[in-house]
Chains A and B, each alone.
Chain A
Amino acid sequence: MKRRDFIRHLGLTASGAILIPVGLSGCVVAPASKPQAKAKPAPAAPIVMVDSPLSYGSPLQRPHATGDGTPRMIVVFLRGAVDGLNVVVPHGDHNYYKARPGIAVSRPGTQNGAIDLTGYFGLHPALQALQPYWDDGRLAFVHASGSPDMSRSHFEAQDYMETGTPGQHNTRDGWMNRMLGVMPASTSPMQALTLGESVPRILTGRAVVANMPTGRDATRPTLIDRPEVSQAYAALYAEDAALGKSYRDGISARKELMADASSSEQKMANNGAPLPNGLSIDTARLGRLMRSNPDIRLGFVAVGGWDTHTNQGNGNGQLANRLRPLADGLTTLARELGPAFNDTVIVVMSEFGRTFRENGNGGTDHGHGNAMWLLGGNVRGRTIHGAWPGIDDKSLNEGRDLAITTDFRSVLATLAEKHMRIGDPAMQKLFPQYGAGNPHALNLLV
């Protein structure tokens, strides 16, 4: 069955719920206070609603744009608090070298030194693969950004960043899920795609999310792909409200994934390109799926292992060994997005930064301000956005961390508004309590 036919088929047979983007990983949230059931039924086949006020693909003149005009956003979350000061290195400041005698990335031009970006800031040498994107103006950073909440707990800080409500524990859904809720309705159960075994907090909520298995075997056919088997289970799950919804969404997404993946992987094979490794296997698949299926507007992937309390290393070592495959995964993603890269903003973020000074064990402890990375065809690149607070003793937060001058929500709200074209009232839903008075008009896009 072709994908289009499949969706039409879905529209005819499935319950009303499938017509609107509700439910899905379903069951995971408290009952909606305002049922979305009022949303108008979507048309039987996916269309791009160019006339809607929230329309996607309005033909904004963009210098780099050669894609289909459907805006997409991908979040890469670095769990464990990456050391942003060794990612975007203030090599022009002697305080940096004084505070980090063992782990500072050495000055540009020296062995394993930083790649100079601005004369003051430089890029960690393990991120060399990203340098062309900086040079082309498609890579930027927002330095000294982060959450206004002072928590130094990994899971709490991640929770706040994923819900978009710092300091508030009881938010039920993640901001990416809320974003799905304010985007134009779609029939696809695959508007948002997350890599990995479980749905992360950031995509938890009412709207449909598909999660994609990782690794080489993800698209190998399994028993459940046999129609007689999936039908037997469909009957079994018919009467269980929460699990039944999950089951049906799983089967729908699975079919779509198999159809899309097999065709694009077929093309890959024809080109004779080797399969990449590790993170790149998954980002390649994510990129190809998002390129070939404009229904998929949001993507998410988490990468762990950034909690470098000991032996962090400098231009070499533990942190470098994690940054290198990350850079490869990102360039693979950018490449495989193809023309859609021009319609995509990839945001790399982490829950908080690390202490400015290295600790006694050649590592860093939980800190505050960090750099957010922005990669995409329309990103205003070659720029370190935000205000640099300085790293002398009196500028540090609590005398130990990089201070925060840009609220992470300001970056995300700017992207939501200017890139994803989400209008004012909806922005309130996206980042509640982040009032209209807050500046979310950073100049991040061209």
Chain B
Amino acid sequence: MLILKKTGWAGLLLSCLVAANADAQAVQPPLNDSEKALHVLNRLAYGPRPGDVDAVKRLGVKRYIEQQLNPDSLPLPPDLADRLSALPTYQLTATQLYQQYGPPSFPPNSATPEEKNMARQRANKDITPQTHFSRLWLATESPRQLQEVMTEFWFNHFNVFEGKEWVRYWNGEYEKDVLRPNALGNFRQLLGAVAHHPAMLYYLDNWLSSGVNTPEARGRFKGLNENYGRELLELHTMGVDSGYTQADVISLARILSGWTIDEKGMKEGQPAFIFNPRRHDGGDKIFLGQTIKGSGYQEGEQALDILARHPATAHFVAAKLVQYFVSDKPEPALTEKLARRFLSSNGDIKAVLHTLFDSPEFWARGNYQTQFKTPYQYVVSSLRATATPVLNVRPIDGVLNQLGQPLYGWLTPEGYKFSEEAWLNPDALLRRINFVNGLSNGKSPIARSDPPPPVPGAPPVAVAPNTAAPIDPQQLQQTLAPALTPHSLSTISAAPANLQVGLILGSPDFMKR
């Protein structure tokens, strides 16, 4: 009896295993065409707009990917281009922003506290909303979606915090002229452009850093500042566990001493970056086991070369890309493959992404509709799915704040996390649901521009009525069809009509990408 029982149990176990195996195969068919289209729209873009899934299906996902990897082949719609060029501060260089939005608040200067305060408020009122508009218009409407996704990715990788004084003046320009053009370019070039930009020099204090006992090391420029050198190693290139030492951090800070902001030159229209040899530590340095001969400016370029082609950098960047595009828990084999491609292509970002989008891991059903959207991805994809025009950024800033991911608002240099662990929590789900319910009736303040500021003496301008129609649940359902499970579809269609749009956008399906 006992034996029989044992055999019976083992037999049962065996048949379970077989069944489970069969099950595993049964539930893992390759993605169908609609699912593939949604997948690329969710990962290479910020989700589908109405009609996008069908358009990608017609085009074919392979061609869609090729187009996205070559953004210059995709013209910006004239209307979007016109709106961007109508943003006055969006056209300005870092130097012009400095000149026009002064008086400079770099201490010490002759500006009174009131003047500095007024300058700050003016920047806040003018530059910040224009920077936010440009990002959100491009994220919601640009056909070059992968370029936008990668711009956000690199902004986060090379994070600067808008709230730190002068960063607010320059973060838009940093994104427009450094990150976006290099987003699918060469990593070494990107790294160098970041290292020279005043937003980064200012944010991580390198502009203040001087070699010890150098001729112009005095006042606020007196000492060596390790901040940028450390983050450059830890966050921008090699990653924290890659074996560099505190001595390497100090060497790198010495190498980059004198890389600063040319405040005086900017007043005369010069570019922001300058190398000041009189604040540079000219001695020889040992950096990552190599001797760097004291040679002034060139040392910095040499150090960036070493970092950009370091295997640890390739690995660190590859792992981050896999985490962003494939899975929270990157499969090591794919990371390895991308790291090798990174090294063999000398840091060609497009080549690395090409390999990534070609990988079986990217297309595995186990990685389909499994990544929990970040608040930014959630908000932008909601605006896209409902084709809500962004006429007012303040309510978007408000909701991103509430969801814990304010635009340009991460204080510390490591940037936002892109993982479920960081973002999924009970309260967040409820806040997201409240947000999309506000979108559903077409009366969202996002789609209503602020009235122009009152002109003294003139009669008040009437507020334009919001003519947007409520979102049609049928159409939304069609836009997002491959994402919605049968359970969601039946639950939604059983619900009162006025809740349906909110239910689709607030569904577990739409929380994921």
Q: Which A residues contact B (CB, under 8 angstroms)?
A: 24-25, 27-29, 79-80, 151-156, 169, 196-199, 204, 209-213, 222-224, 229, 232-233, 235-240, 242-244, 246-247, 249-251, 253-254, 304-305, 307, 309-311, 359-362, 365-366, 398
Residues of A within 8 A of B230 (CB): 152-153, 366
Nearest CB of chain B from residue A322's CB, rounded to whole Å: 12
- B425 located at the interface, meaning its Cβ lies under 8 Å from any Cβ of chain A in the complex: yes
The stretch among B150-158, B357-365, B427-435 that forms the contact with chain A is B427-435
Which residue on A lies nearest to B509, using beta carbons?
A: A240
A152, A204, A311: the one within 8 Å of B421 (CB): A204
Nearest CB of chain A from residue B265's CB, rounded to whole Å: 21
- B414 located at the interface, meaning its Cβ lies under 8 Å from any Cβ of chain A in the complex: yes
Query: Are A243 and B508 within 8 A (Cβ)?
Result: yes
Query: Are B428 and A80 within 8 A (Cβ)?
Result: no
Which residue on A lies nearest to B485, using beta carbons?
A: A239
With A224-B433, A236-B508, A365-B226 in contact, do A156 and B240 touch (Cβ < 8 Å)? yes
B210, B404, B431: the one within 8 Å of A360 (CB): B210
Closest 6 CB pairs of A and B: A360-B223, A197-B404, A250-B426, A360-B222, A240-B508, A243-B508
- B495 located at the interface, meaning its Cβ lies under 8 Å from any Cβ of chain A in the complex: yes
A251 and B506 CA atoms in complex are apart in Å by: 14
Q: Number of residue pairs across A and B with beta carbons under 8 Å?
A: 154
B422, B424, B430, B485: the one within 8 Å of A224 (CB): B430
Residues of B within 8 A of A309 (CB): 205, 225, 227
A233, A307, A310, A398: the one within 8 Å of B503 (CB): A233
With A28-B424, A204-B421, A362-B220 in contact, do A243 and B434 touch (Cβ < 8 Å)? no
A235, A246, A360, A398: the one within 8 Å of B429 (CB): A246
A29 and B328 CA atoms in complex are apart in Å by: 12
- B221 located at the interface, meaning its Cβ lies under 8 Å from any Cβ of chain A in the complex: yes
With A25-B424, A243-B429, A361-B223 in contact, do A153 and B205 touch (Cβ < 8 Å)? no
- B208 located at the interface, meaning its Cβ lies under 8 Å from any Cβ of chain A in the complex: yes
A212 and B428 CA atoms in complex are apart in Å by: 10
Query: Are B421 and A28 within 8 A (Cβ)?
Result: yes
B224, B427, B507: the one within 8 Å of A211 (CB): B427
- B125 located at the interface, meaning its Cβ lies under 8 Å from any Cβ of chain A in the complex: no
Query: Are B240 and A151 within 8 A (Cβ)?
Result: yes
Query: Are B426 and A242 within 8 A (Cβ)?
Result: no
Which residue on A lies nearest to B212, using beta carbons?
A: A360
The stretch among B84-92, B113-121, B193-201, B486-494 that forms the contact with chain A is B486-494
Q: Which B residues contact A (CB, under 8 angstroms)?
A: 107, 205, 208-210, 217, 220-227, 230, 234, 240-241, 246, 249, 402-404, 411-412, 414, 420-431, 433-434, 437, 485, 487-488, 491-492, 495-496, 499, 502-503, 506-508, 511
A239 and B488 CA atoms in complex are apart in Å by: 9
B205, B234, B434, B499: the one within 8 Å of A361 (CB): B205
Query: Are B506 and A233 within 8 A (Cβ)?
Result: yes
Query: Are A211 and B426 within 8 A (Cβ)?
Result: yes
Residues of B within 8 A of A236 (CB): 488, 491-492, 503, 506-508
Query: Are B430 and A250 within 8 A (Cβ)?
Result: yes
With A243-B508, A251-B430 in contact, do A80 and B404 touch (Cβ < 8 Å)? no
With A236-B491, A243-B508, A244-B508 in contact, do A360 and B424 touch (Cβ < 8 Å)? no
A27, A80, A247, A360: the one within 8 Å of B225 (CB): A360
Residues of A within 8 A of B437 (CB): 223, 229
Query: Are A169 and B223 within 8 A (Cβ)?
Result: no
Query: Are B246 and A253 within 8 A (Cβ)?
Result: no
Residues of A within 8 A of B217 (CB): 360
Query: Are B402 and A197 within 8 A (Cβ)?
Result: yes
A199 and B428 CA atoms in complex are apart in Å by: 10
A155 and B205 CA atoms in complex are apart in Å by: 19
The winner among A244, A254, A304, A310 for most chain B CB atoms within 10 A is A310
The winner among A223, A246, A361 for most chain B CB atoms within 10 A is A361
A366 and B210 CA atoms in complex are apart in Å by: 18
